[in-house]
C-alpha cells in the first residue's frame, strides 16, 4: 500500500523496506512484489527472462502452499 499509495500517503522507500522484511519471513506476495520491481529495473533481456522464471516458480510454490494450508501466513 505504501509503494503505490493506495489508502494513504505514498512512501516507496518505506514500502519496499516492509516488503523486504516480509520476504525474509518467506511471505510469497512480498517476494512477488520485489521480483516485479527487479523485472522492471532489469536492463538485459536475460535478466528480464530469469526474473520472469523466478516469478513463475514462486507462483507455483504459492499455489502449493495455498493447497496445503489456505490460511498460511506465507500467502495472506
Q: Supply the DSSP string of 24-59, one letter for each residue.
A: HTT-HHHHHHHHHHHHHH--SHHHHHHHHHHHHHHH
- Within a domain: residue 53? yes
Q: What is the pLDDT of residues 9-36, one digit of tens each?
A: 888 899 999 999 999 999 999 999 999 9
- Within a domain: residue 5? no
| Domain span at 43 | 12-75
Written as nine digits, the cell of 27 is 511471505
Q: In the chain, how many domains are there? A: 1
Share of the chain above pLDDT 70, in %: 100
Q: How many whole angstroms separate alpha carbon 22 and alpha carbon 28?
A: 9
Give the predicted TM-score (pTM) of the model: 0.83
- Within a domain: residue 2? no
Side-chain-side CA neighbours of 57 within 13 Å: the count stands at: 7
Amino acid at each position: 500500500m505504501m509503494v503505490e499509495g493506495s489508502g494513504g500517503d505514498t512512501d516507496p522507500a518505506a514500502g519496499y523496506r516492509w516488503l523486504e522484511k516480509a520476504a525474509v519471513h518467506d511471505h510469497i506476495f512480498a517476494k512477488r512484489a520485489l521480483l516485479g520491481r527487479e523485472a522492471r529495473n532489469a536492463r538485459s533481456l536475460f535478466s528480464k527472462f530469469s526474473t520472469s522464471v523466478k516469478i513463475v516458480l514462486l507462483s507455483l510454490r504459492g499455489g502449493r502452499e495455498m493447497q496445503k494450508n489456505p490460511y498460511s501466513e506465507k500467502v495472506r
